[in-house]
Structure 1
Amino acid sequence: MLELTSEGQRAVAELAQRHGVSGEAVRVLLEALAAGGGTQAQFNHPELGGLGQWSQGGMLMVGNMFDHGLKARVDALCVELARRMRVGPLFTPATPGASWPAEFGAPSSSGSQGDVRYAYFPDRRRLVIQRGGQVTIHDTGEHRISGVSQQQGAGQSLTFTSQFGPIRLSELPVMGPAPVAPTSPSATPAAAPSAATDPLSLIERLAELRDKGVLTEEEFAAKKAELLSRL
């Protein structure tokens, strides 16, 4: 879940009290707005009429289109949250050190839950998960991720919020691990010696030359001793 700044916490508490909704409902809208760049939001929360969508300029859809009071409340919340996002940051900056694939650019939203960090790239339809030192990439398909809703048990299976409702991380196809940096030279295994430089292979060749009479026994013994000293 994205971390709120102190100003973000005040904004959520104030708007929740003023509009008669829970802080969780306000947070869902705020995270959806963050994923939509502050100009649109796709959300799903029972207090907000279930699945819904808001866009700057007047477009609003909620589960019950005939509940005009609910529509007015959601619109007022979105307008106020979008305005406050322009005034100052409501979420803390992402913790440095995350290894997101450079080719994906900047994520529209990112956060952490326990020891797991995530970043969402809507243009690529990719969700990147960092757990420990491993980074995996998931295909989000038609889902537009707006935040983490909860964490499931010891297995650390995250559940995300999309315009279709909660979706578990285990339901998103894994595209594979992210590219890893090249191994440092110190960690690269030494190449096996070739037959042209292996002392034992050279001794065998010298023995063949001795047997053919090319080398004397003394010459062979002297060269053999020299090669064995390299081992």
Structure 2
Amino acid sequence: MNAIFTDASFQNMINVANKYGVSTNAVTDLTQRLMSSNGSMAQFNIPELGGGGQWMQGGMTMVGDMFNNNLKYLVDGLCMDLSNLIQQGAIQYKPLPKTENGQGVFSGNWWGDLGFPNSTGSQNDTSYAIFNNIHRLAIKQNGNVTIFDTLDHNIGGVGQQQGGNYSVSFTSQYGNVDLNALPIISGGNKQQQAPVQNNEIQNNIVEAPIAPIMEAPIQPLENNNNNINNAAFEEDIFIKIEKLAGLKDKGILSVEEFENKKSDLLNRL
């Protein structure tokens, strides 16, 4: 798919290029790599930036010239600025044009007129498209398309799921995303709501009232949020360590570099 940035987005990218003294083409290429992960990581091969390299939000920067610290600082600065702009919605693709067929007007992709996704993919009979900038997730399974409202989830990971309604699973800054808890915008089972309580009025029959049950005090919401955030932060640290281990196994990182990075990440816990 050929994606075109909005005029405002392109101007923001030019400003970043001028700030670091690199070409607009290099920044555009780097931005496209970052867009696929909503600004969380990028794997690139840009001659102006030393050839092949990788950047991950949280402190990992690798370039072709491993001992060129100035190049590392340049790549890290570029990626940090572009990542912030992407996550703030200041860099976006233009909506895809609509086409016409014999049955009326429709968008050129199976997810409709949501625009250009941050990332797409498929596993088995399920396809997905993630739109973090507009808080949407589209899933196509057996020809049926369901659009979810992802609320405040920033989806950054996709995996294979055993069981459940779909063969794919998603993770965000809060950990695993429960699709059953997300509102459905269109398609699928639009009746997905909170379960009906047994003591509600059904078929004009009112059940006898039940004496209230004293429950344990509810913990303050702030503490619950802290627990969730801490768990998500710890999970993110271990995911990064696993990725570093994979890079070590491939020979991209030396054992010493891997141990240093792992130690830095573990010290954040």
How high is the TM-score relative to the length of structure 1? 0.44
Bigger RCO of structures 1 and 2 (CA < 8 A, at least 6 apart): 1
